[in-house]
A and B are shown apart, each in its own frame.
Chain A
């Protein structure tokens, strides 16, 4: 059984390595079989849904103005926001995907976790407080602060919608397959349920409900993961050395799981991945939006500190959980099934490698805990898609409708109505695309979302805050260069050209384009801005000083709502 396990591990690793944040979608890239109904999980999930709908009802009574709707009235505390940001980041992908990666490849899983984490300090130092001081509801507020509203907001809205759509499709497909596996429901009913609940949370409860759903889910996930990690450590007498010894003895790769393996053998791809993760995080619209829910720059800083702590803690837990899965799940007959792959019988974990954490939950905590973890995985997807939907809807209503179409003179009630309509439309689109893409390999989509965030959104946002010389022309043209080059490189690269379109060899050799596409965007923005001698460009450069003063001191920044 060693060789099939190994090849399965290698295949999983190769998949996972392509585009890191795609883990959940990956997990679920093949055909999955529907299981018998898992009642424990279903009951616990419906308790979660009932409770969060109650919160949505409560939030809807407190959501009146646009500020309430987009930014929870600015009344979220730094600690709460930190938990919500951590919740946005601790997706089902990270939880199931990284623990599976640790199970199949050991140490390599830790390398990925670290890549996910190290962007956060940079966001704290360079982005968080300037963003909070300059913006109101969306990152486009900041990017267009001293530039021409129509072109820059349109560009930022396109960047937002593309990132949101890709992320959303990957989550929808992941949700459908995961729920099929965990709950025994049909794929389409799962996708429809996720879409409908997402629309309910966002349209009725706005940012307030979305934030609390995220916080509750983050607490549930952290509590569940902590319990699993403690049980794993208890099984090895609270000795890491003993845990690693048992794991090495039981793993087909033996001692190799304790050192870096083949995943990061290509330095260009490894660094490119790191660049994409680090700066992509700083360009994800649904994460950036969270900085407007707190009162001031001080709370914004505090929230990233709290988020970094919880995310770091969570990755240490997933590492222990992955080793726990090696000890207690991997190769055990009760968790293994035989499937046919390319005409050969292959042994794998029931439901695939990404079920590692779920099986481990059953092994250490019995059926009820298994149900709990399954419900948490579902809740995680629900919370993440709600944040995405709100972010996409605000790009439509706040950026395109209120500031481009109505030239900043939109009536608040009407703006909120546009946002709700946009949410419903996004929900329908997400459900339809979720069903359309059921049997497609969508693993590249989250990677593409991160690459676009790093190559289009981040350079424009960063230079708008840091570089006096940025002009509208530079931002729009350079940003588009970043967006298009990231898309083209991913399409011509191994993830799409070979794995999705089935060609023999990739035209662009690397899985991760960020190391090329991001500098390309920066250089294009720089050249076009420098060459821009228009009167408008000169005016925009002159407006940098007042913007810089506000970014630094917070004088004139949006305050918290007065209720």
Chain B
């Protein structure tokens, strides 16, 4: 990449927009995932009985079971949200940017 191309990309508002959108969504979703996981671990470490509460009166199934499954599903869904936005909106923006700076 030569100096002029670098300058053109850097000065293009679409580049700023792309960087802002991509990084903020990436960090936001990372924090959500970390919060869910470490929240779960902290509940286990400091209040293990919470997850052992029966799901409904008389059941052996505890709250912990659906909670665990929900975390697994949430990892998949959160990844899906990012990939969907990145592969449509961000890539579109990226394609426009590449076209502009090369023209």
Contacts and interface: CB of A to CB of B under 8 A. Distances in A.
B65 A110 contact: yes
A274 B61 contact: no
Given A258-B61, A267-B42, A312 B76 contact: yes
Contacts of A267: 41-42, 45-46
Interface in B4-48: 5-6, 9-10, 15, 18-19, 22, 25-27, 29-30, 33-34, 36-38, 40-42, 44-46, 48
A7 interface: no
Interface stretch (A155-163, A301-309, A518-526): A301-309
Interface string A86-114: 00000000000000000000010011011
Interface residues of B, number: 54
A545 B33 CA distance: 29
B80 to A, nearest CB: 6
Most buried by B among A121, A126, A319, A550: A121
B57 interface: no
A114 B44 contact: no
A264 B30 contact: no
Given A124-B83, A308-B79, A553 B97 contact: yes
Q: Is the interface of A mostly helix, strand, loop or mixed?
A: helix
Given A274-B41, A545-B6, A549-B6, A126 B83 contact: no
Interface string A116-140: 0110111011100100000000000
A552 B94 CA distance: 9
A545 B83 CA distance: 25
A302 B84 CA distance: 9
B98 A553 contact: yes
Nearest to A109: B68
A98 to B, nearest CB: 13
A319 to B, nearest CB: 8
B20 to A, nearest CB: 11
Nearest to A275: B38
Contacts of B26: 125-126
B11 to A, nearest CB: 12
A302 B80 CA distance: 9
Nearest to A242: B60
Contact of A259 (B38, B64, B80): B64
B90 to A, nearest CB: 9
A120 B41 contact: no
Interface residues of A, number: 52
A245 interface: yes
A260 interface: yes
A259 B62 contact: yes
Interface in A153-188: none
A274 B71 CA distance: 14
24 contacts: A110-B68, A111-B40, A111-B41, A114-B68, A118-B37, A118-B75, A121-B29, A121-B78, A124-B82, A124-B83, A125-B26, A125-B29, A126-B30, A240-B65, A258-B61, A260-B44, A260-B48, A264-B41, A270-B44, A271-B38, A308-B79, A315-B72, A549-B1, A552-B94
Interface of B: 1, 5-6, 9-10, 15, 18-19, 22, 25-27, 29-30, 33-34, 36-38, 40-42, 44-46, 48-49, 51-52, 59-62, 64-65, 68-69, 71-73, 75-76, 78-80, 82-83, 86-87, 91, 94, 97-98, 101
Interface of A: 107, 110-111, 113-115, 117-118, 120-122, 124-126, 129, 240-241, 244-245, 248, 255, 258-260, 264-267, 270-271, 274, 278, 298, 301-302, 304-305, 308-309, 312, 315-316, 319, 545-546, 549-550, 552-556
Given A258-B64, A267-B41, 12 more contacts: A107-B62, A125-B26, A240-B61, A244-B60, A267-B42, A271-B41, A301-B82, A304-B83, A315-B72, A552-B18, A552-B94, A555-B98
